[in-house]
């Protein structure tokens, strides 16, 4: 790799500028801390809405009062710098908890409302989590038996829990702790098979919020959506972006998150003016006529490669954002407006220019800065950087001294992403330099997924690949080598790994094999497995066997699901989720069915059906209703 990069570098003109760029500095001083900025709005606009969830409203004063109550309940039990796992969904309760933990000085560790018992066990074995905050009905079984403190939190709203407790368990011996200056920590996929935690200090988030406010003009009267899954760090930009600007936060009901029609309907009804969304959530919207009555004026999109630009009918400014958790949510952005001269260009947009507080450099593997126009690895430095991982050895490997010629930086984060810097400084994203993949905007290490399968005694080893479909979307396929004498069932294996992994990391298909193909060095030939996944059905006989007597709707649903999951053996009696379906794939299924029938189902009615035959029945009823309603 180094030789290839250096060869390309040597072909560049000597006058080519180096691939280094600093984010433009911001003018104007803000309050020194994130919490102080929120408290300033409590003093100046106490009656302004801080959270609006349907018919429910909480003012800044009410939110502050509730946060004080929670902080007092945790006082003496949670000390500054200690990690607290938050298992809540997008709601007023989540917002209150985030403010309360900042007030206590604890480190906010968002895990999502249903993180999975095995995943929680793995996290708490490695990381010193002093308590979990969540719905006692959804917390892992061993946490239910732990000491619990009832928390007085808002119980109203689309995703709110009726009851929330702080559950205190013993911290595992040797568990890693967060640096004392950390404000929050987030989990990312780990190449060792275990999730790793990244800790971020308050100044890094405060600088990002300054940039967000300057870029979008967010202010009192605005409505900022809470749409991102709580386990992922962009929700911190949403949450604190609203609270530190005097705006109102609008939690999204779960059913709108992966349904384009429902999402735009909700934006309209909730009068959302600013939104942050995952790329896979937004791209289907760009394939449809953009509703002209939306109030959304800025849409921040990130988490995966954006494959097309917004059309001239998109009234919002769409920001193609890039940024790893290790560099505090957003590192570079490219803003796209309907008045841009290239609005009709059919090409993937760049990931843009660095935000305030960020420095980007494109280097070869030895750390030498390359000329602009040359492919290389993206490194990030500046005040945007996280403190590091809770694992000091991993921090030392990924946060390294800067290349020569950058004296203002003390370290840079090696992203592992392959990019190219254009002459004007904008960055183009070209892919990964390692095995890491992105599924629906979430970074996934195949090794972590493989380790989840290998917990099963019926599995000797597993290899996970990420083949891409014709549109460039990746999906995970697991190849499993059984233990001696074992005959593991693929569906049972899928069910078991759901307890270890986030939804996006659950493979769409599991294939039991007698042996793995090997390359010339005796290693597993992953490219051969990817090629096999892209070209070969899991069961050719099953692929050819369509059920006799099936209705046209049943055949449409069955063939669509088989194509999406890459599982030709799927039958009408299979449950969509059990067969490997996720909320993201459900959104794509909805799109496929709508294109074929002009009938739009909603994600909840699809996901609650017991099997594919029932989905087809719902589709048939809706088609009949639509037909009889026509004049």
Mean pLDDT for all residues in the chain:
87
Phi, psi of 248 (to 5 degrees): -100, 135
* CATH number assigned to the domain covering 353-432: 2.30.38.10
In the chain, where are the structural domains located?
A: 60-178, 353-432, 445-535, 552-629
Give the alpha-carbon dihedral of 291, 294, 298, 302, to 10 degrees: -50
pLDDT at position 522, please? 56
- Which among 427, 439, 421, 429 is positioned nearest to 279, based on CA atoms? 439
Phi, psi of 612 (to 5 degrees): -70, -30
**38: region left, alpha or beta (phi > 0 left; psi from -120 to 50 alpha):** alpha
DSSP per-residue string spanning 277-305? EEHHHHHHHHTSPPPTT----EEEEESS-
Tell me the C-alpha distance between 8 and 393, whole Å. 32
Answer whether 297's CB lies under 8 Å from 273's CB. yes
In CATH, the architecture of 60-178 is 3-Layer(aba) Sandwich (3.40)
**Among the residues of 399-523, which ranges form H helices?**
446-454, 490-497
* CATH number assigned to the domain covering 445-535: 3.30.300.30
Residues 577-597: b if buried by 16+ CB within 10 A, e if exposed: bebbbbbbbbbbbbbbbbeeb
Q: CATH topology for 552-629?
A: 1.10.1200
- Which among 235, 219, 589, 244 is positioned nearest to 441, based on CA atoms? 235
DSSP per-residue string spanning 55-96? TEEEEHHHHHHHHHHHHHHHTTTS-TT-EEEEE--SSHHHHH
Question: 292-346 pLDDT, tens per residue?
Answer: 999 999 999 998 788 789 999 999 999 999 999 999 999 999 999 999 998 888 7
Structure tokens belonging to residue 181: 């200056």
Neighbouring CB atoms inside 10 A of 344's CB total: 9
Question: 211-252 pLDDT, tens per residue?
Answer: 999 999 999 999 999 999 898 899 999 999 999 999 999 999
**Among the residues of 192-270, which ranges form H helices?**
202-216, 234-243, 260-270
Handedness of CA 607, 612, 618, 619 (dihedral sign): positive
Tell me the C-alpha distance between 353 and 439, whole Å. 24
- Which among 611, 586, 566, 579 is positioned nearest to 489, based on CA atoms? 579
Which segments in the chain show pLDDT lower than 70? 1-15, 28-31, 143-145, 190-193, 441, 470-471, 518-523, 532-544, 627-631
Answer whether 205's CB lies under 8 Å from 185's CB. no
Prediction pTM value: 0.80
Q: β-strand 375-382 against 298-302: which pairing, if any?
A: unpaired
């Amino acid at each position: 790799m180094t030789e290839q990069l250096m060869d390309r570098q040597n072909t560049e003109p000597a006058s080519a500028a180096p691939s280094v760029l600093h984010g433009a500095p911001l003018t104007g001083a803000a309050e020194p801390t994130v919490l102080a900025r929120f408290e300033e709005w409590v003093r100046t606009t106490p009656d302004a809405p801080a959270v609006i969830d349907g018919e429910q409203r909480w003012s800044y004063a009410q939110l502050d009062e509730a946060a004080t109550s929670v902080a007092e309940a945790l006082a003496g039990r949670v000390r500054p710098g200690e990690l607290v796992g938050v298992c809540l969904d997008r709601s007023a309760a989540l917002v209150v908890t985030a403010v309360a933990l900042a007030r206590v000085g604890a480190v906010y560790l968002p895990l999502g409302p249903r993180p999975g018992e095995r995943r929680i066990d793995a996290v708490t074995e490695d990381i010193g989590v002093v308590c979990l905050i969540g719905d006692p009905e959804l917390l892992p079984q061993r946490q239910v038996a732990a000491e619990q403190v009832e928390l007085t939190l808002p119980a109203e709203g689309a995703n709110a829990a009726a009851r929330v407790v702080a559950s205190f368990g013993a911290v595992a011996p040797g568990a890693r702790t967060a640096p004392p200056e950390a404000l929050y920590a987030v989990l990312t996929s780990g190449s060792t098979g275990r999730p790793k935690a990244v800790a971020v200090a308050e100044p890094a988030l405060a600088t990002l919020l300054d940039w967000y406010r300057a870029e979008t003009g967010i202010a009192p009267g605005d409505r900022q959506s809470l749409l991102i899954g709580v386990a992922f760090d962009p929700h911190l930009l949403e949450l604190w972006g609203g609270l530190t600007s005097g705006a109102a936060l609008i939690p999204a009901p779960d059913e709108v998150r992966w349904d384009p029609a429902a999402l735009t309907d909700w934006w309209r009804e909730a009068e959302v003016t600013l939104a942050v969304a995952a790329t896979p959530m937004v791209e289907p919207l760009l394939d449809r006529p953009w509703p002209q009555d939306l109030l959304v004026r800025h849409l921040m999109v990130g988490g995966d490669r954006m494959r097309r630009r917004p059309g001239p009918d998109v009234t919002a400014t769409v920001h193609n954002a890039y940024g790893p958790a290790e560099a505090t949510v957003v590192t570079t952005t490219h803003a796209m407006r309907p008045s841009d001269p290239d609005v009709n260009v059919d090409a993937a947009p760049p990931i843009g220019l660095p935000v305030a507080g960020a420095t980007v450099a494109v280097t070869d593997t030895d750390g030498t800065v390359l000329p602009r126009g040359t492919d290389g690895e993206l490194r990030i430095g500046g005040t945007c950087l996280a403190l590091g991982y809770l694992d000091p050895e991993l921090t030392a490997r990924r946060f390294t001294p800067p290349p020569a010629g950058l004296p203002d930086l003390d370290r840079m984060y090696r992203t592992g992403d392959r990019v190219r810097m254009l002459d004007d400084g904008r960055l183009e994203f070209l892919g990964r330099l390692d095995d890491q993949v992105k599924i629906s905007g979430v970074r996934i290490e195949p090794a972590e997924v493989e380790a989840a399968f290998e917990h099963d005694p019926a599995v000797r080893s597993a290899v996970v690949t990420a083949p891409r479909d014709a549109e460039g979307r990746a999906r995970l396929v697991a190849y499993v080598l059984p233990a001696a004498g074992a005959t593991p069932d693929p569906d049972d294996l899928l069910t078991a790994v759901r307890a270890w992994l986030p939804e996006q990391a659950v493979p769409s298909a599991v294939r039991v094999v007698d042996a793995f193909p090997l390359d010339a060095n005796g290693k597993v030939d992953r490219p051969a497995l990817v090629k096999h996944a892209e070209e070969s059905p899991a069961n050719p006989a099953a692929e050819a066997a369509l059920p006799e007597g099936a209705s046209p709707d049943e055949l449409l649903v069955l063939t669509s699901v088989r194509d999406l999951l890459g599982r030709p053996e799927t039958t009408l009696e299979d449950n969509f989720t059990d067969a490997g379906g996720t909320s993201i794939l459900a959104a794509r299924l909805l799109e496929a069915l709508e294109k074929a029938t002009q009938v739009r189902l909603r994600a909840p009615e699809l996901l609650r059906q017991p099997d594919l035959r029932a989905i087809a029945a719902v589709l048939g009823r809706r088609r009949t209703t639509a037909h009889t309603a026509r004049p």
